[in-house]
Amino acid sequence: MKTYNQISTVSIIGSGNVATALGIALINSGINIIEVFSPNINNSKLLADKVDCNYVESIEELNSISDLYIIATPDKEISNVISKLKHIQGIIVHTSGGQSSEILHDFNRSGVFYPLQTFTKNKSVDFKRVPICIEGSDGATSDLLIQLANKISNNVVVLNSEQRQYLHLTAVTVNNFSNLLYYHAQNVLDEKGIDFSLLHPLVQETGHKIREVNPEEAQTGPARRNDVSTIEKHLALLGQYPEFKEIYKLLSDQIIRKYHG
Amino acid sequence: MKTYNQISTVSIIGSGNVATALGIALINSGINIIEVFSPNINNSKLLADKVDCNYVESIEELNSISDLYIIATPDKEISNVISKLKHIQGIIVHTSGGQSSEILHDFNRSGVFYPLQTFTKNKSVDFKRVPICIEGSDGATSDLLIQLANKISNNVVVLNSEQRQYLHLTAVTVNNFSNLLYYHAQNVLDEKGIDFSLLHPLVQETGHKIREVNPEEAQTGPARRNDVSTIEKHLALLGQYPEFKEIYKLLSDQIIRKYHG
């Protein structure tokens, strides 16, 4: 079993948004990325270019002596990747919010390195502000992963698998579901000839407000005031938008029950 | 009927968050606020102090010669206010997203002056970035209101009442409903011993992203990928949170139908 007191060399498996954002943050912090593997050779090349390393064309070609192997693939590919990495000696981590650490327990040293952010191609993110959630198979491994995470982020926390799964679930909620609300809003505004960008400042402020006021206190609006006449007017306006209407009704009902129930 | 080529003097009816934010923005732009009325005398005093003017203790005491009367009360009080302002000569506007301009049609000159933002006491907002939606009873009145709005905001638009009501509905959606999502997230994280502030960077990025990528393209997550196994895991984790679970289910179903239906 390999022993070391810091992680210096890294292999990356995957070439999507997380692999790319993480790879760039790591080399910017002086970490040596040895190699990249991804079933998508074109993406492998692009990422290898960005992080100034080689790419390998099959997973079996990955070297066995990197300090750390980062699996940044879609969740459903992780178990397949794992089955082909039996030869490695370093620490192996996945980057998934939703997967338990147990799936890596066949390895001597393993863990989770979960960056909590939404990454988009061609839109850079300030990694220093991205929370990184760490879990290690043992104390020494945790310490090495924390040390590495601290090089690229100012916001490193240790969470167990259950906590991370809840955090992932809430991340889905505040990101994916808010985005669906934005989609419904834009769709209606487009059809009424109203510029969606009018909502941008409100969207920003809504997100900023919860840094100072907790969401329970920050709640405002017709449902918060139990203003049934406005709610009914809005439901009528949504007559042609049954899915939007269903969301409007459910969420308004919940707010009314919470504050006036 | 009073005629003039700009609005110089203003009376404010109301003393809540909108009245206060608007009053401060107006005096900062050199507008002369003559007086404030609100049934809540304490709040009247506070606002009068902030905008350096007098307050009156009954609505009938309001002078009749201000260029503009701004009704910034809760929606349900507007018609009562209107009934007591028959003596005025200036333009009268309300600031409500949800109310039609028709309720002011007994006045010679009237309109709507709707600032699209969420205002919180003791949290200042940069008014220059707040969209102001204008509607006037006639072209000359519109022009005067636009001119005034341009003094305090860089984002002034003319909308008719139907458009403004749809905009208000979507504002409720992206603000109040996103905030309910934040509330459910915080509630679960608190109970699992996880710091809600870990989600702040993701919330900010979610809001910022739609300035560059439209929400339809920005959508990511388990439902977007039709990753049924993660969705079922999340629904199981939400067993103790039936309301949160109901939202999770509805919104995931809608995303799946939209992208995989």
Å between A44 CA and nearest CA of chain B: 22
Q: Which of B172, B200, B233, B245 to mutate to test the interface with A (most CBs of A within 10 A)?
A: B172
Give the burial class of A96: count Cβ atoms within 10 A of its Cβ; 0-12 exposed, 13-18 middle, 19 or more buried.
Answer: buried
Interface size between A and B, measured as CB pairs under 8 A = 286
In the numeric block, the tokens 């008014």 are attached to B127
Pairing type for strands A91-94 and A68-71 reads parallel
Domain with CATH 1.10.1040.20 in chain B: 165-260
Do the Cβ atoms of B99 and B78 come closer than 8 Å? yes
Residue B1 has pLDDT above 70, yes or no: no
Mean pLDDT of A214-242: 96
Task: Please provide the average confidence, as pLDDT, over all residues in chain B.
Answer: 95
Nearest CA in chain B to A120: B218
User: Closest Cα to residue B111, out of B131, B90, B129?
Assistant: B90
Distance CA A72, CA A119 (A): 12
Task: Report pLDDT digits (tens) over B28-38.
Answer: 999 999 999 99
Q: What SS3 state is found at B112?
A: strand
Amino acid B63 reads N
Instruction: Give the pLDDT of residue B123.
Output: 74
Distance CA A112, CA A43 (A): 23
Q: CA torsion B123→B94→B179→A114, rounded to 10°?
A: -70
**Whole-complex ipTM:** 0.94
Q: Which residues of B touch A181 (CB under 8 A)?
A: 173-174, 177-178
Nearest CA in chain B to A159: B194
Residue B2 has pLDDT above 80, yes or no: no
Domain with CATH 3.40.50.720 in chain B: 9-159
- Tell me whether residues B169 and A234 touch, CB distance under 8 A: yes
Å between A89 CA and nearest CA of chain B: 30
Backbone angles phi, psi at B69, to 5 degrees: -115, 120
Q: Which fold has domain A165-260?
A: N-(1-d-carboxylethyl)-l-norvaline Dehydrogenase; domain 2 (1.10.1040)
- Tell me whether residues A200 and B211 touch, CB distance under 8 A: yes
Question: Could you tell me if A228 lies within 8 Å of chain B, comparing CB atoms?
Answer: no
Backbone angles phi, psi at B63, to 5 degrees: -65, 160
Å between B58 CA and nearest CA of chain A: 25
Q: What SS3 state is found at A32?
A: strand
Q: Which parts of A153-241 fold into alpha helices (H)?
A: 161-172, 178-191, 200-209, 215-218, 228-237
Instruction: Give the pLDDT of residue B105.
Output: 93
Question: Could you tell me if B188 lies within 8 Å of chain A, comparing CB atoms?
Answer: yes
Beta partners for residue B157, in sequence order: B133
When CB atoms are compared, the residue of A98, A176, A246 closest to B250 is: A246
B135: pLDDT confidence band, cut at 50, 70 and 90?
very high
> Tokens standing for B210?
């739609």
Residue B204 has pLDDT above 80, yes or no: yes
Q: Which residues of A touch B208 (CB under 8 A)?
A: 204
Question: Could you tell me if B84 lies within 8 Å of chain A, comparing CB atoms?
Answer: no
User: Cα–Cα distances in Å, from B242 out to B49, B188, B248?
Assistant: 47, 12, 10
Å between A234 CA and nearest CA of chain B: 6
Which residues 5-64 of B are in CB contact (within 8 Å) with A? Answer: none
Nearest CA in chain B to A192: B163
A3: pLDDT confidence band, cut at 50, 70 and 90?
low
Give the burial class of A242: count Cβ atoms within 10 A of its Cβ; 0-12 exposed, 13-18 middle, 19 or more buried.
Answer: exposed
Mean pLDDT of A41-65: 95
Sign of CA dihedral A17, A19, A23, A25: positive
Question: pLDDT over 70 for what percent of chain B?
Answer: 99
Q: What number of other Cβ atoms are within 10 A of residue A126's Cβ?
A: 12
Distance CA A126, CA A153 (A): 9
Question: Could you tell me if A195 lies within 8 Å of chain B, comparing CB atoms?
Answer: yes
Task: Report pLDDT digits (tens) over A119-175.
Answer: 877 777 889 999 999 999 999 999 999 999 999 999 999 999 999 999 999 999 999
Residue B122 has pLDDT above 80, yes or no: no
Pairing type for strands A32-37 and A68-71 reads unpaired
Q: Which residues of B touch A117 (CB under 8 A)?
A: 201-202, 205
When CB atoms are compared, the residue of A116, A179, A202 closest to B198 is: A116
When CB atoms are compared, the residue of A203, A210, A233 closest to B174 is: A203
CATH of span A9-159: 3.40.50.720
Question: Could you tell me if B76 lies within 8 Å of chain A, comparing CB atoms?
Answer: yes
Residue B24 has pLDDT above 80, yes or no: yes
Greatest pairwise CA separation for chain B in angstroms: 69
Instruction: Give the pLDDT of residue A66.
Output: 96
Q: Which residues of A touch B171 (CB under 8 A)?
A: 199, 202
A5: pLDDT confidence band, cut at 50, 70 and 90?
confident
Nearest CA in chain A to B202: A117
**Residues in contact with A75: Cβ distance below 8 Å, sequence separation at least 6, in sequence order:** A96, A98, A99, B227, B230
Question: Could you tell me if A214 lies within 8 Å of chain B, comparing CB atoms?
Answer: yes
Mean pLDDT of B56-84: 95
pTM across the whole model: 0.93
